[in-house]
Amino acid sequence: MLRIETSGRGFYEITKNIRDFAREAGLTQGLLTAFCRHTSASLLIQENADPTVLRDLEAVFARLAPEAAEYAHDTEGPDDMPAHIRAALTQTQLSIPLIGGALALGTWQGVFLFEHRRRPHRREIAVHLIGE
């Protein structure tokens, strides 16, 4: 289980955490699964070289799920329902092949926890690897 401390909305790269988990398993071929155990955060594989990609993604999601809209569900504040919408539009689970003992991520790909809430949270990512 990975535990990620967030400081609020945004992208948190967890590629190193995922790679470390895979390396420690000692397998050469397989499939890694990462599962976000929350309804207001998600997982993405995205470019990790140019930070403007993440800024643009955040801007798009702000337009798609604005806090200023009127939502019936606002139990935990104005960012509550927009966080659920963002999670619904992204992914809570990722599968990454393990080939030759390494994750088969592309050159510019990184794995990110996408925090959708404004306040800090402790997020849990269940990670599992099967293979040989």
Q: Which residues contact 84 (CB under 8 A, 6 or more apart)?
A: 39, 40, 73, 116
**Pairing relation of β-strands 102-103 and 93-99?**
antiparallel
- What is the per-residue pLDDT for 60? 98
Cα gap 47→54, rounded to integer Å: 8
Q: How far does CA 126 lie from the centroid of its chain?
A: 12
pTM: 0.95
Position 37 confidence tier, pLDDT thresholds 50, 70, 90: very high
Ordered by where they begin, the domains of the chain are: 2-131 (2.60.120.460)
Half-sphere exposure of 64 (CA within 13 A, CB side): 15
The model's pLDDT over 9-19, given as tens digits with 9 standing for 90+, comes to 999 999 999 99
What's the pLDDT tens digit per position in 54-113? Answer: 999 999 999 999 999 999 998 999 999 999 999 999 999 999 999 999 999 999 999 999
96/2 Cα distance (integer angstroms): 16
